[in-house]
Amino acid sequence: MLTSPPRLDPNETNWIVHVNENLKCMPADEQQCWKYPSIYKVPPFITDLNPKAYQPQVVSFGPYHYDDNHLRPMEEHKHRALLHFLKRSGKSLECVFKSLKEVARELKDSYDKLDLKWKDGTGGEFLELMIMDGCFMLEIMRIATLPKSKAENYGYAPNDPIFSFDRLECIVPYIRRDMLLLENQLPMLVLYQLDAIANDGKEDDVNKLILKFHFPLERKTSTGLDSCLHVLDVYRKGLLKVMEPKKVQHKGKNEETETIIRSATELNEAGIKFNTSKTDSLNGISNSLNDISFDRGVLKLPLFTVDDTTEFMFLNVMAFERLHIKPFNSEDGNEVTSYVIFMDKIINNEQDVALLHTQGIIQNNFGSDKAVADLFNSLCIDVAVPSNKNLNYVQQKISKHCKKRWNEWRANLNRTYFKNPWTILSLIAAFFLFALTIIQTVYTLLSYY
């Protein structure tokens, strides 16, 4: 017996018709439908663990935190920075506005989520925000990186509440922190455009200025930083020193090996020694997070300074690496996250931190060794392990080394008998007495027979 198909509700029919119409209108290349953002609102599943790490403290850059109550006092100083920028460059505000208006759509597309206030209309308010924040950022970085003698004569009053040298020393650490928050970024195009206007179109290395501002005690090269997205991206590449990933050469078959990494103390007990990675320069110590290698029982790691800024810096860089869309099948772009996860594996407690500190790998400006261990252990909560060929290969080699019992026996022998000169002398004396005893026994037997 045939049964008639069930009748559809009008609402269901409308939905089916709507979906079928959308199906017919689907573009051949969906990639063209999406913009390419680089500045993101950090989602709750990331921020819930540590909300303060993603919130600016003294100054807002861009639209996400504009007009927050506790950040309003800095707005009047931004206006003064704009006036000094225009006066020194000799350019009119109309010229600056026109230059940025030509790239307004590209600047808006750099933000993942924009309120209608910034999206709609002619874009005047949005460009005003970009110009004010961009000029303030450039002024802060330029003056903070000058010697004291030049900074005092850079156009600002010696008692300026922000730009005087004494005030800068106090406020710059907070501004430096806020400039590295993912939600508090400006598109690099803003800084490039403003810098070109101030220098009459001549190229000035803005990337180099950013590196000098954020790494005041280190010499960072800006080579290869032509296509950066924002200040956080420049900083991230500064951590990696724009090094090409090491080519990993696997010999023979690609064997599946256990890659569980023990703590630094356990690795040391298995006979593994720790050393700082070296740069290409003579006796130079590397601080590139890419410089991790293992060879002949020696694990080489880059020098890293842990201080009060380490936690929020890593969290924001890792959030950027998680949220930013990468080319298909690309393993690049997760290097900082891979480094933090690797360090989390070899640091379990204060003994591990003390060992790495003794070997010159971790410089502790943060607090106790336990605080540093807790810091690294907290950074990787709910973080997926990204693929990194170099670190995977390093972990495989370490696992192979630890599986050989002889390496552990040799390490125990070294710790027990060769730890200091007195134990070495005692061992030599014991061997000498043992040899004399054998000789005496031989002579006794010979004389007997």
pLDDT digits (tens, 9 = 90+) for 356-394: 999 999 999 998 999 999 999 999 988 888 888 889 899
Share of the chain above pLDDT 90, in %: 49
> Does a structural domain hold residue 255?
no
> Can you give the pLDDT at residue 155?
82
> Can you give the pLDDT at residue 210?
95
Angle between helix axes 350-358 and 369-379 (nearest 10 degrees) is 110
How far apart are the C-alpha atoms of 117 and 299, rounded to whole Å? 53
243 with 268: CB under 8 angstroms? no
- Comparing 420 with 323, the larger pLDDT belongs to 323
My answer on whether 91 and 178 are in the same domain is yes
- Res. 351: pLDDT tops 80: yes
- Res. 265: pLDDT tops 70: yes
How far apart are the C-alpha atoms of 253 and 234, rounded to whole Å? 38
Beta bridge partners of 363: 305
> Does a structural domain hold residue 176?
yes
Cα 78 from chain centroid (whole Å): 28
> Does a structural domain hold residue 7?
no
- Res. 234: pLDDT tops 70: yes
My answer on whether 359 and 231 are in the same domain is no
- State pTM to two decimals: 0.84
My answer on whether 322 and 233 are in the same domain is no
Q: CA–CA distance from 176 to each of 59, 119, 190, 386 (Å)? A: 10, 28, 18, 28
> Can you give the pLDDT at residue 20?
81
Classify 207 as helix, strand or coil: helix
My answer on whether 149 and 174 are in the same domain is yes
Q: CA–CA distance from 337 to each of 44, 212, 269, 301, 379 (Å)? A: 19, 23, 27, 15, 9
My answer on whether 178 and 58 are in the same domain is yes
Q: How many domains does the chain have?
A: 3
> Does a structural domain hold residue 36?
no
> Does a structural domain hold residue 201?
yes
Q: Which domain holds residue 427?
A: 418-448
> Does a structural domain hold residue 170?
yes
> Can you give the pLDDT at residue 413?
47
How far apart are the C-alpha atoms of 38 and 185, rounded to whole Å? 9
- pLDDT (mean) for 319-342: 83
Least confident of 65-74, 187-196, 366-375, 433-442: 433-442
Residue 164 confidence class, pLDDT cut points 50, 70, 90: confident
Cα 98 from chain centroid (whole Å): 35
My answer on whether 297 and 400 are in the same domain is yes
Q: 46-85 burial by CB neighbour count: b if 16+ within 10 A, else e?
A: bbeeeeebbbbeebbbbbbbbeeeebeebeebbebbbebb
- On average, the pLDDT of the chain sits at 83
Question: For tokens 């696997």, what's the residue?
Answer: 250
> Does a structural domain hold residue 236?
yes
My answer on whether 209 and 233 are in the same domain is yes
Q: Do β-strands 362-364 and 304-306 pair in parallel, antiparallel, or remain unpaired? A: parallel
- Res. 280: pLDDT tops 70: no
My answer on whether 400 and 428 are in the same domain is no
- pLDDT (mean) for 319-334: 78
- Comparing 38 with 445, the larger pLDDT belongs to 38
> Can you give the pLDDT at residue 12?
63
